[in-house]
Every structure is written in structure tokens, then in C-alpha cells.
Structure 1
Amino acid sequence: MRTSRATDRVAQGSRARNAGAGFVMVEMMLALTILALLAALALPLFSTQRGTALLRTKTVEVATLLRSARNSALLSGETVAVTLDADARAVLSGRSVVGIPDTLAIDMLPASQGGLLFFADGRSSGGGLSVRSSSQALRIVVNSRTATVDIAR
């Protein structure tokens, strides 16, 4: 059976296009493989940063709760207590609660084992809390004379 030259040229052009399309597919697969490897290498960096951000966020939330308790004591003229509920994993002051996720640990510093008290005259019982992740820790320190709340490493 005899084919025309035009039909032969169309068939050759079709094969050339298919060969080029296969090459593009190989390039695409290679690019995706490289992208997946880079993502796998970068993922641990992001999870570490996320843990550090969570530690800082929760530490600031607890410090804010302590400052709010100090302000409540000054405004109400009554002593305000802040306690740590280890079972519920929360820091409590009146109706205010800051929950602590399982990935973090929190402890009262030895000077404040019974909780922290803020008095109406602007003083406090002093002490603080330690908030820890697997890689680092932050301390929240309450000055007994001025009841100021500071975050330290």
C-alpha cells in the first residue's frame, strides 16, 4: 500500500511532537522530585520555629494574665490570686484562664509554690513561672515590691 508524501510528513510531525512531550514529562518529574527533596529538608526548620513561636505566645499570654491580675487588685482594692492547675494544664485568675498545650511544660518557681498574690497596695507575693518547650525555656518573674511582671530567658 502506497502512502502519499503529505501523509508521511504528518505522521513524522506527530511522532516528533510526541517525543518532545515525553521529554517535557521527564523534566516535570525531575523538577517535582527536587522540589519534594527541598521541602523535606526545610520542614524540620519550620516545625522548630513553630514550637518556639508557641512558647513565646503562651508565655506572653500568661504574663498578660498576671498583669491583668495586678491591675484588678489595684482597682478593686482586694487581693487577687493566680494559681497553676497542673491537672487542667492552665493558669487561673478569677474568670481568666490560659490553657497550656501538651507540647509545653509550666511550673511555678519555688518562691511561689502556693500561687502568686497581688495586693491592693501595689505589691505582690513575688515569684514567677517557668514555661518550657523541648528546646528552650522562658521565665516570668513577678517583683514582690512593685508587682511588675517581666519575661526572662
Structure 2
Amino acid sequence: MPTLRATERQITGARARDRKAGFALVELMLAFAVIALIAALVLPSARFGMGATLQRYEAQRIVSLLRGDRNAAIRTGRPVTTRIDLARGHLVAGGSDSEITLPSALAFSAQPASLGGLAFTTDGRSNGGLLFLGTRERGIAVRVDPLTASIQIERF
């Protein structure tokens, strides 16, 4: 039969083993703090919303505005011009009250560089041009064909 001291030693040993097993609340909080610190350093450098999805979204908005102006020129029998402000990243429809202001972080350029607007005629033609979203190495171009005034999105 075990003595009282032997039983106390067994209980004390079991408690010591229980304390060493698992994680303490302080250890868990420290681990979460380290994870939060790493996330705070890494996430700002990740450019959410600046990728291909944002470029496609803005290109679709531009295509919609341009097609509306092309259709308005044909429907009304009067030429319609979409005004383009490259410096501000701003497009204004000539056939409606629609406007688009692109996010300032999104690069916006045109070819020809002097393109101040896209004119659509009543017979379904335009002056044509390219609008670039993103860099010239990686991005999306909105192409307006001068003969047919077709408006297409191209990736490059």
C-alpha cells in the first residue's frame, strides 16, 4: 500500500507534467502578435486592386462609355466626341452625361499621345486610337478601329 508521501509525489509529478503539456495563454498571445507584426509589414506592399482585375474592370467601363457614344452618333445622326483627359485619367461621354475617372494609381496613356478625344461619325467610323491601362509592358489596351469604330479590349 502506497504511503501518503508517495501519493503526494505522484500527484505533484502529474501536475508538473500537466503544466508543461500544451501552450500557455501568454505563449499563444505572443505567437499572434508576431503573426500580426509580419502581416502589418507584408500586406501594405501587396497591391490589392492593382492587378489585372482592376485593369479589366476599368477597361470594360471605358468600352461601355465608348460604345454608347458610337451608338449615339449613329442613332442621332450627329457626330459625337468622347473627351479624354490623360493627365487626370478622366473620360467624358459626348452622347450622354456619363463620366469615368480612373484610379490615380492606374497608369493611363493613349496612342497617339496627343489624343484628346475619340470622335464617332454618323456613318459608323471614328478617328481611332489606343487607350492603355497599366504599363506598356503589362496591361490592357482599348482599341478603337478608325474604319469600323469597333471597340475591343486587348491584353499585352
Give me the TM-score of the superposition, normalised by structure 1.
0.72
Partner Cα separation in structure 1 for residue 14 and residue 127 of structure 2: 87
Q: Report the Cα offset of residue 60 of structure 1.
A: 2.1
Corresponding residue for residue 57 of structure 1: 57
| Aligned partner of residue 61 in structure 1, secondary structure | helix
Cα–Cα, structure 1 residues 8 and 52, in superposed 2: closer, same or farther, change >3 Å?
Answer: same
CA shift, 1:111, in A, is 7.8
The answer to whether the 8 Å contact 1:51/1:133 transfers is: no
Correspondence for 1:113: 115
Change (3 A) 1:20 1:111: closer
Greater helix fraction, Structure 1 or Structure 2 = 1
Deviations 1:120-145 (A, max 9, x none): 22121222322224862322211122
Contact 1:84–1:115 under 8 Å retained in 2: yes
Q: Which amino acid aligns with 1:15?
A: A
Corresponding position of 1:97? 99
The corresponding residue for 1:13 is: 14
Q: Which runs of 5+ in 1 are unaligned?
A: none
CA distance in structure 1 between the aligned counterparts of 2:18 and 2:65, rounded to whole angstroms: 68
1:73–1:120 CA contact under 8 A, matched in 2: yes
Identity of aligned residues (%): 29
Whole-angstrom CA distance in 1 between matches of 2:103 and 2:128:
25
Deviation string, structure 1 residues 88-112 (Cα, Å, up to 9, x no partner): 4211114111211121222232187
Give the distance between the partners of 1:134 and 1:45, measured in 2 at CA: 22
Aligned residues: 149
Q: Judging changes above 3 Å, is the alpha-carbon distance between structure 1 residues 113 and 48 closer, same or farther for their aligned structure 2 residues?
A: same
Task: Show the counterpart of 1:47.
Answer: 47
Task: For 2:137 and 2:65, locate their aligned partners in 1 and report how far apart those are by CA, in whole Å.
Answer: 24
Whether the aligned pair in 2 keeps the contact of 1:111 and 1:126 (CA below 8 Å) is no
Unaligned runs of 5+ in 2: none
Deviation at 1:22, TM superposition (A): 4.8
RMSD of equivalent CA atoms: 3.8
Deviation at 1:148, TM superposition (A): 0.3
The separation in 2 between residues aligned to 1:8 and 1:134, in whole angstroms, is: 76
Give the match for residue 70 of structure 1: 70
